[in-house]
Each structure stands twice: as C-alpha cells, then as structure tokens.
Structure 1
Amino acid sequence: MAITTQQLIQWKQQQRPIVTLTAWDYAIAQLLDAAGVDIILVGDSLGMVALGYETTLPLTLDEMIHHASAVCRGVNRALVMCDLPFLTYQESSQQAIHSAGRILKETGAQAVKMEGGYPAMVETIARVVQAGIPVMAHVGLTPQSVHQLGYRQQGKTPEAGEKILLEAIALEQAGAFAVLLEHIPAQLALQITQKLSIPTIGIGAGVHCDGQVLVTADLLGLSSRQPPFAKSYANLQETITQAVQEFSGEVRSRQFPSQQP
C-alpha cells in the first residue's frame, strides 16, 4: 500500500524514523522502492548527478517532469516527492501552484518540496497547500541559494538559529506536511523537531530528526565529490569502472563473446 503524508505524521508520533533517498530514473527508483525506502525524492540534485550541471540552478521544470515521470513508473509503495526547480515557484503563488500542479498532473508524484522559510515563501506554500498540493518545506542550507549562502552550515549563531526555528514553525502553520533541515547544528535540529508536530527530515542536521535523507549517488559512491555530512555505503564508481575495463579487455583480446562450439 502506498505511503501517504498522513502516515508520515503518524510515524513521527510513533517515533518511527523515516527513510528518504533521491532517484532520477526508473531503474534506481525500482531498487529503492523494493528495498523499502519510505520517501523517494526526485531532487533537483539530478541536475548535477544525472545532467552534469555545476549547480542545481539550470534545471528546468520540463526536465524535472521528464525524470519524475520515469521515477514514478518504478515505484509502487514509497511516497514520491519532487523538488520545484529554481525560479519555477519564487515569483508568485500563482506560478508555484501552476508548477506544482504540473508535477502532480504529469508525473504521478504525490508531493513537492520548496526551499525557503521567509515570509513571502511561507505565504506561497500556504496557497499551494490550499490548492490541494502537499508540500514539504526546506530550511537551513538551501542549495538554490548557493550564490548567496554558499554551502556553509547555517544557524550557527543564536540569532540565526532562532530565525530558522521561527521559519519552521511558520511553515508548519502554513500547512507543510514535513520540513527538511539541511546542514544545521544538531542541537538546533533537535529543538525544531521537538517543537513541530510534523516530521523533520535531516541531511547534515544530526541524529535527532524524525528521518534522514541522502542523495543516492553519494550513498552509492557514484559522486565525484560529496558533502562532508554524506556517507558512502558502496563504491559503485570503482565497481563499474572495473567491470567496464574487464569487458573492454575481453573485447580487445577477442575473449568476448566466448567461442561457440
């Protein structure tokens, strides 16, 4: 049975941690779903890991829809959620509703994720939720603001931490079903998690969040560089390189295909 946003909120109450990973195509999505992942995020990180952009900023809505559609075709159980790409929701609430609506209509995803907790974004998220579209909010380090924030940890001073806490509270009040906390101090993440009745999903935010997310390319060891808070559970770069080199050697030495009797 497919996971719902209501189920995620129940899991927070039950203190059952929520597992989130990213996917960018059908094959990866199938594997993650079969392995029992709770949320599959079609993150704008696909702009870097699948399309080769330097940052997430160039990714378009059409590219997101193309990849999210493939992901949804591979998923039966997990909740599929999509990032709204840069400048597809920041201009106005009408633009955000249109972009989020296209994702739900054209891909089969159940929710979207939007970065930022400033007052105008809180109002936009409220309007998107009122239109019937589930939204996960995202505060702390927001990669679409890379040219403004860089990739530094956020919320390190008491004032900065208080600002992020107040943003998270406002986003819950706006109707977000969960909040992603990226690259903030663990103690601040704990404070936010205890304050909210909706789940917090952490990445580089310590152990106290209601769930954790990683970019799957980082987890599998496919990334050329990864953030310090990521962990690789495999080294597929090495495995794939060795397999390709072995195949190449066999072709060049005429060992592949094997001689038929």
Structure 2
Amino acid sequence: MRTTILEVQKLKNRGERIPMVTAYDYTSAQIADRAGIPLILVGDSLGMVVLGHTSTVPVTLDEMLHHMRAVVRGSQSALVVGDLPFLTYTTTEEAIQSARRAMQEAGVQAVKLEGGAAIAPSIARLVELGIPVMGHIGFTPQSVNQIGTRVQGRAAADAARLINDALAIEAAGAFGLVLELVPAPLASVITQRLRIPTIGIGAGAGCAGQVQVWHDLFGLYSDFLPRHARRYLNLSETITNALTTYANDVREGTFPTAEQSSTMDDATLQAALKLVEQS
C-alpha cells in the first residue's frame, strides 16, 4: 500500500521528520522505496540533471509524464508527487487538464504547483475535484528568469508575503508545502503557523521535512552543488573509475571471459557450418 496524504499529515502531527527525494526513473524509484522514503517527487529539475537544460523552464508536460510513469512503475510504497511544469497551469482549467493527465496517464498520486496566493484558486479547485496538491513557494525555479536564483523573503515585506502565501495555500486545501531557499528563521515561523507539513530545501531544519535532488545526494550532477545540498556519496567518481576499468578490460581482451559467455556443442556448430556450405 502506498503512503497517503493522511499518513503524511499524521507524521507531521506526531512530530516525525519527513524525508522526501526526487527520482526520475524506474530504478531510482525502486531504490527510494527500498530505503523507506515515504514521498517521491518527480521534479521538473529533471530538465537540468537528466536532460541537460540550464533551468526547468524548457521542460514539457509530455516529458514530465514520461518520467512520472517510470517512477510510478518503480515504486510500490511511496506517495509519488509530480511537478506540473512551466506554463501548464496558467488558468484553473489548464491546471485541471494538466493534473488530470498526470494522474490518469502517469499514475501519480499528487501534483505540485509553484506559486503563492495567486494560484490558490486553482489549488482549491483541484482539491475539490479530488486531486491532492502540494504547494511550492520561496525560490520557485520556473520563475528563475524573473527572480533569479537567490534566497527569498529576507526583506520584511517579502517575508510577510511568503507567510501570507503559505496561509493561502493551506486554506486552499494543499496537503503540503515546499519551502525553497527561504531563511531558516522564516521557514520555522511558517512551519509553526501551518497545520500542513512544510518540506524544506535550503530552508533550514525547522521544516517538517526535507527534500533533496537525487543527483545532488549521490554526486551524479557535476555542473554545480547547491549550498543547501549534502553529498552523501560521490557516485560520479565511482562510476567513472568503473567505466575506465571496463574500457581497459575490453581493450586488453580480459573481458568478457568464459564466465560471461555461453557455450555451444562443437558438433552442433560444425553441423551448422555444413548447412551454410550447402545452401
């Protein structure tokens, strides 16, 4: 059975910290599931760490659906949340259609939208239709061309706006809220004022949970490492070394060996060669 939004709320109510990771494919989803991660986000960050774009803006809904389907197939226990990408929820009707595709065609159990009070009406309508929604405020990557990549809410007016955005998103019925690149004291205040869980990324330890990008956690993305990320493994180096060894083995003829090869009865092979000669 998959984690439900009610169970996520119970984790918050019990004061249990909530781990969340991004995943973009079947195998990664399997691994996250085995590790007991209750929430998996199919983030549009795949535009950067998987597709090689410089931001999330170029990612299309069809590309997101492709990766959502893979993650859903790979996971059995986690609640899978799918990002709705740039300009696929500009109106409530468009949000409904994008969320419908994410849930019907890809099978995710929830969707995530970036933005504050301005998108609260769309969130409310999605929730009315039975679609679980996670909000996302602070640094919103889809708005990078407008706001830049920087911490949000440091000025008093900006901090007040984020608090009001958070309250509006909760009032609209969202089951959770991502806080990205928000000053830790402000993120703590928002978390304390909300009933629903906050999931931080670059927002300090005062949030109800944390989310990290798969490729940052394991050192797979070498373009840059965000300050808010902690690299738990350096798989890029490990994989590079393994590939170098593999290439050398191929060049030297030490791979494959009999252990990696199949055998064939010599009489059968000779019979096949005779048939070729006769044809």
Q: How would you bin the TM-score normalised by the shorter chain?
A: over 0.9
C-alpha distance in 2, partners of 1:211/1:259? Answer: 50
C-alpha distance in 1, partners of 2:22/2:67? Answer: 12
User: What letter is aligned with 1:94?
Assistant: E
1:34-183 aligned at under 5 Å gives the runs 34-90=34-90, 92-119=91-118, 121-183=119-181
User: Corresponding residue for 1:22?
Assistant: 22
Contact in 1 for aligned 2:117/2:168 (Cα 8 Å) = no
C-alpha distance in 2, partners of 1:217/1:207? Answer: 21
Partner SS, residue 212 of structure 1: strand
TM-score normalized with structure 1 length: 0.97
- The alpha carbon displacement at 1:258 in A equals 2.6
TM-score normalized with structure 2 length: 0.91
User: Corresponding residue for 2:8?
Assistant: 8
Structure 1 residues 48-88: Cα deviation after superposition (integer angstroms, max 9, x where no partner): 11111111111111111111001100111000000001011
User: What letter is aligned with 1:38?
Assistant: P
Partner SS, residue 171 of structure 1: helix
- The alpha carbon displacement at 1:129 in A equals 1.2
C-alpha distance in 1, partners of 2:72/2:168? Answer: 31
Contact in 1 for aligned 2:92/2:125 (Cα 8 Å) = yes
Runs ≥4 residues deviating over 4 A: none
User: Corresponding residue for 1:254?
Assistant: 253
C-alpha distance in 2, partners of 1:18/1:107? Answer: 24
C-alpha distance in 1, partners of 2:75/2:255? Answer: 35
User: What letter is aligned with 1:255?
Assistant: T
Structure 1 residues 179-238: Cα deviation after superposition (integer angstroms, max 9, x where no partner): 100001110011000000000000000001000000010000011212111110000100
Partner SS, residue 218 of structure 1: helix
User: Corresponding residue for 1:236?
Assistant: 235
Listed as ranges, the gaps of 5+ residues in structure 1 are: none
Structure 1 residues 2-46: Cα deviation after superposition (integer angstroms, max 9, x where no partner): 100011111111001111000110011100011110100000001
C-alpha distance in 1, partners of 2:237/2:142? Answer: 30
Contact in 1 for aligned 2:2/2:76 (Cα 8 Å) = yes
User: What letter is aligned with 1:68?
Assistant: M
Identical aligned pairs, as a percentage?
A: 51
Contact in 1 for aligned 2:41/2:82 (Cα 8 Å) = yes
Contact in 1 for aligned 2:19/2:37 (Cα 8 Å) = yes
Partner SS, residue 115 of structure 1: coil
User: Corresponding residue for 1:202?
Assistant: 200
User: Corresponding residue for 2:185?
Assistant: 187
C-alpha distance in 2, partners of 1:228/1:75? Answer: 29
User: What letter is aligned with 1:162?
Assistant: A
Structure 1 residues 77-136: Cα deviation after superposition (integer angstroms, max 9, x where no partner): 00000000101112x1000000001100011110000000032x1111111111111100
C-alpha distance in 2, partners of 1:88/1:204? Answer: 25
Partner SS, residue 57 of structure 1: coil
Contact in 1 for aligned 2:22/2:43 (Cα 8 Å) = yes
User: What letter is aligned with 1:110?
Assistant: Q
C-alpha distance in 2, partners of 1:12/1:96? Answer: 27
- The alpha carbon displacement at 1:259 in A equals 5.8
C-alpha distance in 2, partners of 1:99/1:2? Answer: 23
Q: CA RMSD in A?
A: 1.2
C-alpha distance in 2, partners of 1:3/1:213? Answer: 16
